[in-house]
Structure 1
Amino acid sequence: MAVDQGTFRRAVARFATGVCVVTSLEGRADHAMTVNSFTSVSLEPLLVLFCVEKEARFYDAVIDSGVWGVSILNPDQRPAASWLSNRGRPLVGQLDRIPHHRGPETGVALLDGAVATMECRTTAVHEAGDHDIVIGEVVGAAVPASGPADEAGALLWHRGAYSRI
């Protein structure tokens, strides 16, 4: 029996997942995308992955640059998540209204106030239907000391809407 896309989407929507912003730097242009398809892969070596739609503007940037950052969002960063998931937003200046800093290892943008950040170098890309799975070695990571970002919990995606822990 074939599963239709609508049933599939409703089924996977029941799985609560964290919300991250993945960034990349192609030349001098910042690229960013909201994702909920991020996970750790390995402790030796330190590997993580995210999935990116092949048709997304972000796809070429992250594949070409080979470096990317992950900002795990706190609930107060919902506006940034919404903005960076908006198809058709302007490429130039898309991070202008989002406080961020440069990662010391790769130079990619990392969102200020995130509950954790990582910098990665792509080690593999695997085709997976209309998306690709991008695997990267973690070359830098930061977790804020006790403070508002650390105590805020995390931004979640569940049943097609933002939520919080």
Structure 2
Amino acid sequence: MTSEQVTDVDEGAYRRAVSRFATGVTVVSTRSGEIDHAMTANAVCSVSLDPLLMLVSVENEARFYDAVMDSGVWGVSILPATARGTAQWLATRGRPLHGQLDRVPHHRGEATGVPLLSEALAQMELRTVQTHAAGDHTLVVGHVLSVQTSEHPGDALVYYRGRFGALE
């Protein structure tokens, strides 16, 4: 099978189609130097149970890309429906680099020291084990080093058709 680039697919049609795929919403975080970095991400996927692997798709031009490549460790915080404002804030392009987590309750992960959102439904810490170039993004695959879950999870925040909502 050969890989040919399809040129007759309209990008707008593709975007509309994939917006019909409801996804969970996370914040992916890392610490590079003395700076905490975080971004809202819905392109996060559990990859393997043996070994425990998960991936995140990171835009190559995003500030987060350089930070996660530099640090080699990262966190995933799965957001509750009540965290819509946090998701919007950390998805805002051009927000200040310094202090972007000042208004978000968080703590340091014990395994890596990356920031994890305190009110998340679950939090994981990961060490990067592979990266894969994928167009204008890079798939960052991490080995799961720690997992924490909320004892009283609420509804999950989801992203569907360009909007945040709740999964009850």
Say yes or no: does 1:144 pair with 2:146. Answer: no
The offset of 1:113, in angstroms, is 1.0
Q: State how 1:65-144 maps to structure 2 within 5 Å.
A: 65-144=71-150
The offset of 1:99, in angstroms, is 0.2
Give the match for residue 23 of structure 2: 17
Give the secondary structure class of the aligned counterpart of 2:102: coil
| Distance (whole Å) between structure 2 residues aligned to residue 46 and residue 153 of structure 1 | 25
Say yes or no: does 1:64 pair with 2:70. Answer: yes
2:97 maps to amino acid: L
The answer for unaligned runs of 5 or more in structure 2 is 1-6
Give the secondary structure class of the aligned counterpart of 1:121: strand
| Distance (whole Å) between structure 2 residues aligned to residue 136 and residue 46 of structure 1 | 8
The offset of 1:41, in angstroms, is 0.2
Q: State how 1:12-51 maps to structure 2 within 5 Å.
A: 12-51=18-57
2:54 maps to amino acid: V
| Distance (whole Å) between structure 2 residues aligned to residue 4 and residue 125 of structure 1 | 28
Q: How many positions carry a matched residue from both structures? A: 161
Return the TM-score normalized by structure 2: 0.94
Give the secondary structure class of the aligned counterpart of 2:9: coil
Give the secondary structure class of the aligned counterpart of 2:129: strand
Q: Write out the 4+ residue segments of structure 1 that deviate beyond 2 Å after TM superposition.
A: none
The answer for unaligned runs of 5 or more in structure 1 is none
RMSD of aligned Cα (Å): 0.7
Say yes or no: does 1:163 pair with 2:131. Answer: no
Identity over aligned pairs, percent: 57
Give the secondary structure class of the aligned counterpart of 1:80: helix
The offset of 1:6, in angstroms, is 0.0
Give the match for residue 3 of structure 2: none
Superimposed CA distance per residue, residues 22-47 of structure 1 (whole angstroms, 9 cap, x where no aligned partner) = 00000111000000000100000000
| Distance (whole Å) between structure 2 residues aligned to residue 75 and residue 154 of structure 1 | 5
| Distance (whole Å) between structure 1 residues aligned to residue 13 and residue 129 of structure 2 | 34
